[in-house]
Amino acid sequence: MSGTITTLTDATFDEVVGGSDKPMLVDFWAEWCGPCKLIAPILEELAVEHADAFSVGKLDVDQNVQTATKFSVMSIPTLLVFKGGQVVGRLVGARPKGALLQEITSILAAA
């Protein structure tokens, strides 16, 4: 992962996401998840291209069960959109870059 994506843990999640001055897209993923690996490069691109609009974080569900459970993450990849520390959108499953960006944009516009 590059410096554009923040690695989150159970210990840092509330502070980083709650303290973010802009909306944050959090990818709940696991090393063994094929679809998670498919969207990883897309998330890297979005983190760079849309850094002014939102930030991107990743949370490994195998190593951070407490946070994954807190947000009822049952399937991965699950992408949660946070604004002001609150969940304003949930996307489950891999998507092409254009579709993903369109959904994120519409969630943020409605929030």
Q: Among all residues, which ones are annotated catalytic?
A: 33, 36
Residue labelled with tokens 């969630």: 107
CA 12 → CA 1, 6, 29, 69, distances in Å? 17, 10, 16, 15
Distance CA 86, CA 93 (A): 21
